Amino acid sequence: MLRGLSFAVDGGEYLEVTGPNGAGKTSLLRTLIGLVHAESGRITWNGRPILEDARAYHSQLAWLGHESPLKADLTAAENLAFGIGIRRRIDAVAVATALDEVGAQGFSDRPVRTLSAGQRRRVALAGVLLAGVPLWVLDEPATHLDADGQALVGRLVERQIVAGGIVVAAVHAPLPVVEAGTRRLGLSSK
Amino acid sequence: MSGAWQAARLVIERDLRLAFRNRAQLLHPLLFFAIVTTLFPLALSPEPSRLRDVAPGVLWVAALLASLLAIEFLFRDDAQDGTLEQYALSGQSLTWLLFAKTLSHWLLTGLPLALMSPVAAYGLGVAVEAVPGIIASITLGTIALSLLGAVTAGLTLGIRRGGAMLSLLTLPLAVPLLIFGAQATARAIAGEPVAGPMYLLAAFVVLGLTLAPLAAAAAVRISLE
């Protein structure tokens, strides 16, 4: 599906993957995080193949897929406490702070089933923040979000790369991130 | 290591909380078990001696089918909303997390079935002396079924509407459990020693505990590709 791809991303960089529907953006991201195995070639993290110690690699990355990985019957705060809690120890204050940062403080105690798709996306983004890891891999992070929410995603990505982290995101519309740290990878469907 | 224990505790706690917020799913297998075991006396004959004869078979077939109903939900929701993906990428052992998930699944389906079985047995004219044997055999049997179900549910995750496939895959593998479980129950009811079939059930549980989580994790990984 994808061939002839070769790239490296450094700390402090944001790699924006674009391309028409079906070009393989999601496949590329899922291969990068090790969920899908590449037929040939290799993917390394800090110079080591990612599957050599997949658990160590996975503990360094946060993945946000198309769907926001939330349980409809749990509240936003509960979702984060359980979802991120299996990765690392977090307390209620950290959860509340993260929800605050994505503008979700107003609905943190409501069951996720009552939230709109955009509100869910904000909660899922709070999860990425809470993971506290250097590598973010995001598939359409701004989907369902309003203008304010898209600006928020831009700010979060910027903060992550300024702090020396790496963000790889597949997007339809470019995120509002300063050009300095941004690199673009365009996939074509041919 | 404390991270792994903490993660397992959270997986179990989350599943329990979800189950209690969505009780219909929790009650469905239990209701099925209760209905099937009460229908037999109505259809067959109210005569206690005849009911006692068929009681082991009725209890075990009902428990097996009720467990099968529940196995379909073992990973389905987590696969749909991306939770399994997050488990696989959590940096924790997927085998361990799925083991915790299977344990919570048994706590929510197998354990209630085992606790309900004496009531059902009483309805089938079984003497009180047989109750410990019945509870023990259904407990071991449902643990083994949950573990087996983790593997087959994992294998059928990638199939759209895999419910029928899941039954086809699970039932043949569950036949040994049915045979030895029903035998243990029959012996308990007849007042004979139950150790033989019970040890075999326990052996299936040990086999499941050692291999099923590994196989389930491998199956789930394939479904995520």
Question: Strand, helix or coil at A64?
Answer: strand
Statement: residue B125 has pLDDT above 80: yes
Domain of residue B181 covers: 2-224
**With pLDDT > 90 as the criterion, what percentage of chain B qualifies?**
88
Structure-token pair, residue A156: 């979060």
Among all residues of chain A, which has the CA nearest to that of B96? Answer: A86
User: A1-60+134-190: which CATH number, 3.40.50.300, 3.90.650.10, 3.90.550.10, 3.90.76.10?
Assistant: 3.40.50.300
B83–chain A Cβ distance below 8 A for any pair: yes
- β-strand partners of B12: none
Mean pLDDT in residue range B186-208? 96
- Please choose, from the candidates A58, A129, A69, the residue with its C-alpha nearest in 3D space to the C-alpha of residue A97: A129
Statement: residue B2 has pLDDT above 60: no
B86–chain A Cβ distance below 8 A for any pair: yes
Count of structural domains within chain B: 1
Q: How far apart are CA B138 and CA B156, in angstroms?
A: 25
CA distance B11 to chain A (A): 7
What confidence score (pLDDT) does residue B5 get? 93
Q: Are A15 and A169 in contact (CB under 8 A)?
A: yes
Q: How far apart are CA B65 and CA A109, in angstroms?
A: 38
B20–chain A Cβ distance below 8 A for any pair: no
Return all residues near A137 (Cβ < 8 A) that are at least 6 apart. A29, A32, A33, A61, A62, A63, A64, A168, A169
Q: In chain B, what residues touch A69 (CB-CB under 8 Å)?
A: 81-83, 85-86
Among all residues of chain A, which has the CA nearest to that of B83? Answer: A69
- Helix %, strand %, coil % for chain A, to 5? 40, 15, 45
Structure-token pair, residue B33: 């078990």
Q: What angle do CA B6, B23, B95 make, to 5 degrees?
A: 30
Q: Model confidence over A75-112: pLDDT tens digits?
A: 999 999 999 999 999 999 999 999 999 999 899 999 99
Whole-number average pLDDT of chain B:
94
Question: What phi and psi values does residue A48 have, to the nearest 5 degrees?
Answer: -115, 140
Q: Are A58 and B85 in contact (CB under 8 A)?
A: no
What confidence score (pLDDT) does residue A8 get? 93
Using a CB–CB cut-off of 8 Å, the residues of A that contact B are 33-37, 55-56, 58-61, 63, 65, 67-74, 78, 81-83, 85-89
Pairwise CB contact (< 8 Å): A67 & B82: yes
What confidence score (pLDDT) does residue A190 get? 60
What confidence score (pLDDT) does residue A136 get? 97
Statement: residue B1 has pLDDT above 70: no
Considering only CB atoms, B225 lies closest to which of A35, A72, A81, namely A35
CA distance B224 to chain A (A): 7
Pairwise CB contact (< 8 Å): B6 & A86: yes
What confidence score (pLDDT) does residue B71 get? 93
Return the domain boundaries, chain A: 1-60+134-190, 70-133
B225–chain A Cβ distance below 8 A for any pair: yes
B47–chain A Cβ distance below 8 A for any pair: no
B24–chain A Cβ distance below 8 A for any pair: no
- Please choose, from the candidates A164, A177, A186, A187, the residue with its C-alpha nearest in 3D space to the C-alpha of residue A10: A164
What confidence score (pLDDT) does residue B64 get? 95
Pairwise CB contact (< 8 Å): B6 & A83: no
Statement: residue B200 has pLDDT above 60: yes
Whole-number average pLDDT of chain A:
93
Q: Model confidence over A131-190: pLDDT tens digits?
A: 999 999 999 999 999 999 999 999 999 999 999 999 999 998 888 887 778 888 888 876
